[in-house]
Amino acid sequence: MTRAKSNLRYLNSFLFLILGIILGVIAIWPGLITQTGRKCFLKIIQDGSDGNVSFGTIFSITPNYLLKIHNEKNKYRKILLIGDFCFRKI
């Protein structure tokens, strides 16, 4: 009986953790739930995945973000900056 309660407590905690992460990401990037934000993010990621980026994609990003993305050495931070650009503009 106590084992079932223990498993239920872990499941409950895990669900609250996942819900908190999801709500936190949506609060930080409100454009994540819109279709245009996701299309922007996927277009930039797909276009730059082969190493060559088209001029249309470059001109769609503001110069300030281009400099931040270019100067960043960590790939994870680059993806965060791209997401920041696409998901914060509403």
The more confident residue out of 89 and 6 is 6
In the predicted structure, residue 51 carries a pLDDT above the cut 80: no
Confidence label for 3 from pLDDT (cuts 50, 70 and 90): low
* Structure-token match 């990003």, residue found: 61
Of the candidates 56, 52, 61, which has an alpha carbon nearest to the alpha carbon of residue 83? 61
Q: What is the pLDDT of residue 89?
A: 64
pLDDT-above-70 percentage for the chain:
91
Residue 72 phi, psi dihedral angles, 5° rounding: -80, 130
Q: What is the pLDDT of residue 40?
A: 81
The more confident residue out of 52 and 79 is 79
Measured between alpha carbons, how far is 22 from 79 in angstroms, rounded to an integer? 18
* Relative orientation angle of helices 75-88 and 63-71, to the nearest 10 degrees: 160
In the predicted structure, residue 1 carries a pLDDT above the cut 60: no
The more confident residue out of 16 and 58 is 16
